[in-house]
Amino acid sequence: MRGKKANNRKLAPDHKYSSELVSKLINYVMYDGKKNAAREIVYKAMSDLEAKTKSTAMEALEKALENVKPRVEIRSKRVGGANLQVPVPVSPERQVSLALRWIIDAMRKSRGSKESWQALSTQLHAAFNNEGDAVRKREDVQRMAESNRAYAQLS
Domain residue spans of the chain = 20-154
Contacts (Cβ under 8 Å, ≥6 apart) of 62: 21
**How do residues 62-104 score in pLDDT, each as one tens digit?**
999 999 999 999 988 888 888 888 899 999 999 999 999 999 9
Q: How much is the pLDDT for 78?
A: 87
Answer whether 106's CB lies under 8 Å from 120's CB.
no
Whether the pLDDT of residue 155 is over 70: the answer is no
Q: Indicate the pLDDT class of residue 122, thresholds 50, 70 and 90.
A: very high
Answer whether 124's CB lies under 8 Å from 103's CB.
yes
Q: How much is the pLDDT for 150?
A: 79
Q: How much is the pLDDT for 26?
A: 96
**E-assigned strand segments in 49-147:** 72-79, 82-89
* CA pair distance 4, 130, nearest whole angstrom: 38
* CA pair distance 148, 58, nearest whole angstrom: 36
CATH number among 3.20.20.60, 1.10.455.10, 3.40.50.300, 3.30.1300.10, domain 20-154: 1.10.455.10
3-state secondary structure the chain: CCCCCCCCCCCCCCCCCCCHHHHHHHHHHCCCCCHHHHHHHHHHHHHHHHHHHCCCHHHHHHHHHHHHCCCEEEEEEEECCEEEEEEEECCHHHHHHHHHHHHHHHHHHHCCCCCHHHHHHHHHHHHHCCCCHHHHHHHHHHHHHHHCHHHHHHC
